[in-house]
Chains A and B, each alone.
Chain A
Amino acid sequence: MGAKFHVRVTLELCNFGYWTTYVYGEKHGRHFAPSRSRGPRIKTPLPPRPQGEPVVLNLDHRNDEIEHAAPSIISVKNLTKTYASGLQALKDVNLEIRRGEIFALLGPNGAGKTTLIGIICGLVRSSEGTVIADGHDIVTDYRLARTKIGLVPQELSTDMFETIWATVSFSRGLFGKPPKPAHLEKVLRELSLWDKRHQKIMTLSGGMKRRVLIAKALSHEPEILFLDEPTAGVDVELRRDMWAMVRSLRSLGVTIILTTHYIEEAEQMADRIGVMSKGEIILVEDKTKLMQKLGKKQLSLQLQQLLTKIPEQLTQYELELSKDGGQLIYNFDARGERPKIADLLRDIAELGIDIKDLQTCESSLEDIFVNLVRAHS
């Protein structure tokens, strides 16, 4: 295991030239997270949450874990933004992004994600509050703060008449870095753009243009990378390439904050999830814990004999009986309370009810996200 880990480190070091960043990450005990694998997901839809039933969120403690975890690289405090039109896009937002993590910011359209990113990157002026990026205030110490940040916007905004090489060189200079052709070459090679470096951007496909935007954002060796809808409108193959690239960057110590509408993307990549709605952060949670806390699990039992009603001995389990009487459904929260599946199965067996088959399924991040936003609305 140790040998495998070492080999991987050696390979990762060759990427993008983030030598110093990696050493820093190692010093802080950040190591490569093992790739997550999930079993096949059963697509049986969960029953809808009854109307009026709120999602239980302990918002007061939502950032408690952060205080005791890795040091923050971005600290947002009491951030408010009211546009000239009167629209309040951000309402007293507090957020801590840990160094070296992949943080997915989710939220419906108009939730305030782009405004939040815009303020951190210097594109939008805040009304109140502070943002500290790697120890530097983004307003009073903007030079150092912005040097740490790279941004890949959602729109394919590039200088169409420039060559790839010229545009990445321009980006590096803009961020106050001296020319470093070796670094630019590494970035372009990693993004499969090296052979096209003398081509004008207007001749590239949409996917390639998005890679160019990523190359531009990486040209000045940022420690924080914002990806605003990085895979919007790209094909499946390129999307997977991007995911691999993002993981590779994270393993080199780059902190990545991404917004996405593809919940699957956040589920695949993120270490932590932040959910925004109506200008507020309604939840920040470790992805795995979030799915454990707010995820629903469901056990479906296919019966040999049809039942007309649920036996009285089983009422404590709050089971549901399908209309045809052939299926018993047991819903339970995966919230740490011991699900009494074993007791249920034993009681069913004692009642002489034969089980033909059983299935379990759990809610996806998408289910959780939809329920959270619905509850907040």
Chain B
Amino acid sequence: MNRYAIRAIYMFEMSRTFRTLLQSIASPVISTSLYFVVFGSAIGHRIPQVEGVTYAAFIIPGLTMLSLLNESISNASLGIYLPRFTGTIFEVLSAPISHLELIAGYVGAAASKSVLLGAIILITARLFVPYSIAHPIWMLIFLGLTAVTFSLFGFIIGIWADGFEKLQLVPMLIVTPLTFLGGSFYSIKMLPPIWQKITLFNPVVYLVSGFRWSFYGASDVGVEVSASMTLVFFMICVVAARWILTTGYRLKP
């Protein structure tokens, strides 16, 4: 295993994060904090408890997941797209590294940033809203698995995209709407029965539900189903990434 290469890519990507600290960390943290202030502290007082917790506490897992998904995708997609755009990808492609090592470097860095961001958001949220974590191990598992899965998804988007517009297309037009409609701000039990069934086709429901269960022990769908669905999406991304790297799709003519 070329551990020096994994380390080089990982450190390079992390240094890019710390070089753009305002954009990478501060911006999403401030945005999410504003959600807590507006929906939690200001409007939340007028909303009764949901699933046995205050509305402000209820939205914490969903909002954290919203940031986690978006940042995982944008970090990973930009990480691989920028070298393609600037032409520096030649060096990575000509280096003695395997597909797994390549993914470990880029996806590992993107997932690390997302987990770091998720942790900062949770700590920040604690300043505005009191909450507790019922299953901290499961919380970490869901946090890590989601970060890795969506970083892998972002990595695929970064290879697929042939312009900055496409790079933003999936996070803006697909992931964000799915997250908003996936129970980040409400329990799907609050929806009419027909919409409850339709919502179950939204994969983000399972991520948010499982993550919320790790906080409060209550969820829209069973935690086993949530974990299984996350693993299924992870496996789909693994297969897609493997196909891309094996065939050289958009990387090697």
Contacts and interface: CB of A to CB of B under 8 A. Distances in A.
Contact of A175 (B5, B7, B87): B5
B12 A176 contact: no
A84 B96 contact: no
Contact of B5 (A144, A151, A160, A174): A174
Interface string A198-238: 00000000000000000010000000000000000000000
A146 B95 contact: yes
A215 to B, nearest CB: 12
10 contacts: A122-B94, A125-B252, A149-B94, A151-B90, A159-B12, A159-B88, A169-B8, A171-B91, A174-B97, A175-B95
B5 A176 contact: yes
A316 interface: no
Residue of A166, A170, A216 ringed by the most chain B CB atoms within 10 A: A170
Interface residues of A, number: 35
A123 B96 contact: no
Nearest to A174: B95
B253 interface: yes
B96 A157 contact: no
A146 B88 CA distance: 17
Residue of B2, B7, B248 ringed by the most chain A CB atoms within 10 A: B2
Nearest to A117: B94
Size category of the B interface is 20 to 34
B34 interface: no
Contacts of B88: 157-159
Contact of B253 (A84, A149, A170): A84
A216 B7 contact: no
A83 interface: yes
Nearest to B97: A174
A124 B252 contact: yes
Interface in B1-26: 2, 4-5, 7-9, 11-12, 15-16, 19
A147 B19 CA distance: 30
B18 to A, nearest CB: 12
Interface in A129-164: 142-147, 149, 151, 153, 155, 157-162
Contacts of A84: 253
Contacts of B91: 151, 171, 174, 216
A166 B92 contact: no
Given A153-B87, A157-B86, A125 B94 contact: no
A157 B4 contact: no
A122 B93 contact: yes
B2 A121 contact: no
A170 B248 contact: no
A170 B8 contact: yes
A121 B96 CA distance: 10
